[in-house]
Amino acid sequence: MPIKEKNYWLDTVAAPLAQSARDLPGSIDVVVVGGGFCGLSAVRALAKRGVKVAVLEAETFGWGASSRNGGMVLTGMKLPVPTLIKRYGRDTVRKMYAASLESIDCVEQIVREETIDCSFSRCGHLEVACKQAHFDGYQESAALIKREFNHELRIVPKSELHGEIGSDIYFGGMIDETSAGLNPAQYVAGLAHAAQRAGACLHDHTRVTSIKQEISNGVRKFRLQTSRGAITAREVILASSAYTTEATPALCKKIIPIGSYIIASEVLPAELVRELSPRNRMIYDSKHFLYYYRLTPDNRMLFGGRAAFFPETENTVRQSAEILRRGMIGVYPQLRDTKVEFVWGGTLDFTLDVMPHAGKIDGMYFAVGFAGHGVAAATWFGAKLAAQICGDPRDIPFDAIKFPSAPLGLRSGHTWALPLVGAWYRLLDFLT
């Protein structure tokens, strides 16, 4: 079968995503811009608390990174814990780490409550060491995480690694049993249905083109112009992530959109599946320019990486198929003759300090910067912003940290500097 330049996960979504051809309401309590995990989690939570809320999505629900990712529901943050403690102090980082664990529970609770059929499983994740020095660092990391956060990670020496992965190239591994896996397209579709059931107005194919503040009778409101007319709202949540545009220029300046690509193989025989990933973990390696991979529920190998740093285009997707296939065979020579049936790409929302951020910008709520942790984090941040709008106490530990703007060459739409970032990470992988 030839490679389809197509997202494998979307092929598994039976029910079409909730849609609405209705006219926009003239005014509403809250408008959410962007219908991925973050936006849909926020509207679901708001609607459940009786708030009149609409979500406006430029394409279809889940069209952004939320249906394109690896489906890894991961604990922790992108940066190493010592770096985080040095930057933000022990107390703040304890709260951040607790939030990362809570975010996995948050996804699990939503999946259960809404009976979302998305193959959610607490299968744990495995990080594999590409160098001896990386493996040597695992012991220290695990001890630090146990001491600071009372969270248990398990080290797997090279001699026992075959119980976890059918590959000989790694120097050992580290396991976190708390992490989970799911089918992201089914999950985001389930979130959209849940939000609609709770009473939220869902509007797809509705692109927000500008947002202005208005004061009328002493009350501040936001007026949003969209491709399907105007709408006013008391509060706005920006959940447009890496796909943020100049419609919200202040947020756009903060985001570094980075491409990531995935291939999915043909369905593999059961015996080979057991050999490649005996415990069916979510797996990623220890490099900066990393590979992440897992089995799909129907036993394909799904293998992803930053094959190009540019956001996805037809060209980068096509080139990525071969780069990732070579990467996959490097890890698993057993797959040399296996057919790759799908390839697709998506864009991640990095920030200059590689941290998630939330708070208010130009008077509007926002949450961005989930990078490779957005399945859990975007869901959690969306729910937290909703709670804040409903008057709950502020308890997002990431909202008090400084949010640096991205340098011009790395911002959305100005991607000329991205190859330099790619080269820098490759150099770091060579040196460290």
Ligand X SMILES: Cc1cc2nc3c(=O)[nH]c(=O)nc-3n(C[C@H](O)[C@H](O)[C@H](O)COP(=O)(O)OP(=O)(O)OC[C@H]3O[C@@H](n4cnc5c(N)ncnc54)[C@H](O)[C@@H]3O)c2cc1C
Residues that bind ligand X (CB under 6 A): 33-39, 56-59, 63-66, 68-72, 74, 207-208, 239-245, 247, 260, 262, 304, 346-349, 370, 372-376, 378
Shortest Å distance, C-beta 368 to ligand X: 7
Residue 67's nearest CA partner among 110, 8, 19 is 8
Shortest Å distance, C-beta 332 to ligand X: 19
* Residue 121 phi, psi dihedral angles, 5° rounding: -150, 135
Tokens 């008391």 label which residue?
234
* Residue 193 phi, psi dihedral angles, 5° rounding: -60, -40
Q: What share of the chain is helix, strand, coil (3-state, %, to 5)?
A: 35, 25, 40
Q: How far apart are CA 5 and CA 263, in angstroms?
A: 9
In terms of CB distance, is 114 or 171 closer to ligand X? 114
Shortest Å distance, C-beta 118 to ligand X: 13
Shortest Å distance, C-beta 67 to ligand X: 7
In terms of CB distance, is 69 or 299 closer to ligand X? 69
In terms of CB distance, is 347 or 351 closer to ligand X? 347
The token pair that represents 320 in the structure block: 């990525």
In terms of CB distance, is 171 or 415 closer to ligand X? 415
In terms of CB distance, is 239 or 385 closer to ligand X? 239
Q: Calculate ∠ Cα 283-285-290, nearest 5°.
A: 110
In terms of CB distance, is 171 or 311 closer to ligand X? 311
Shortest Å distance, C-beta 292 to ligand X: 6
Tokens 């220890």 label which residue?
286
- CB neighbours (10 Å) of residue 227? 11
In terms of CB distance, is 268 or 378 closer to ligand X? 378
In terms of CB distance, is 276 or 385 closer to ligand X? 385
Q: How far apart are CA 74 and CA 371, in angstroms?
A: 11
Shortest Å distance, C-beta 94 to ligand X: 21
Shortest Å distance, C-beta 90 to ligand X: 25
Give the residue at shortest CB distance from ligand X: 374
Contacts of residue 12, defined as CB under 8 A and 6 or more positions apart, other chains included, come to 183, 185, 186, 298
Shortest Å distance, C-beta 298 to ligand X: 18
Q: How far apart are CA 114 and CA 124, in angstroms?
A: 23
**Helices 374-389 + 90-113 axis angle, to 10:** 90
The token pair that represents 355 in the structure block: 């941290």
- CB neighbours (10 Å) of residue 346? 24
